[in-house]
């Protein structure tokens, strides 16, 4: 039986503003309650449980990367969300592009939650993602 996690953002049927677009959340968002909340004190192993749950939630839905990021952020605790926004604003302040793909988000979160594993990533692996800020879906 799947655990039912309670997120602070319970209202899943609401209109959201993403950039200049206004859209209504999808009806399947009720399934997001099965994804654990990502907190600041989440252990590396629990981070991967969260990542696997997010992958399961997103699998086969045909969502653009920025929508995947939107749903992932809805599972963040308030502190993690503040940290994430601060990180992204720091990129913008430096003149860099902020994270715009689900793959890039996972890499950045892995660095935050499991920095030991990130030290062993080979340069060959990194070349698979030449620009972390690109949108691989082209959307």
Statement: residue 135 has pLDDT above 60: no
- pLDDT average, residue stretch 67-83: 95
Give the pLDDT of residue 115: 81
Express each pLDDT in 11-23 by its tens digit: 334 455 556 655 5
Q: CA-to-CA distance for 139 and 121, rounded, in angstroms?
A: 28
* Element spanning 56, H or E: helix 44-58
Structure-token pair, residue 37 = 């909340």
Express each pLDDT in 119-130 by its tens digit: 555 444 444 444
Computed over every residue of the chain, the mean pLDDT equals 77
Which DSSP state fits 76? B
Give the pLDDT of residue 124: 41
Express each pLDDT in 97-110 by its tens digit: 888 999 999 999 99
Statement: residue 44 has pLDDT above 80: yes
Listed residue (129, 117, 137) closest to 43, CA to CA: 117
HEC string of 1-30 equals CCCCCCCCCCCCCCEEEECCEEEECCHHHH
Q: CA-to-CA distance for 39 and 74, rounded, in angstroms?
A: 12
Statement: residue 67 has pLDDT above 60: yes
Note if the pTM is more than 0.75: no
């Amino acid at each position: 039986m799947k655990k039912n996690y309670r997120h602070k953002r319970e209202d899943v049927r609401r209109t959201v503003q993403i950039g200049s677009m206004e859209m209504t959340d999808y009806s399947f968002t009720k399934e997001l309650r099965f994804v654990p909340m990502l907190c600041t004190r989440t252990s590396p192993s629990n981070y991967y449980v969260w990542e696997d749950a997010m992958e399961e939630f997103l699998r086969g839905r045909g969502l653009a990367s920025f929508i995947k990021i939107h749903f992932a952020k809805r599972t963040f605790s308030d502190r993690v969300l503040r940290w994430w926004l601060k990180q992204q604003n720091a990129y913008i302040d430096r003149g860099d592009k902020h994270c715009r793909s689900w793959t890039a988000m996972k890499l950045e979160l892995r660095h935050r939650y499991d920095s030991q594993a990130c030290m062993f990533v080979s340069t060959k692996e990194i070349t698979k993602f030449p620009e972390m800020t690109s949108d691989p879906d082209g959307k």
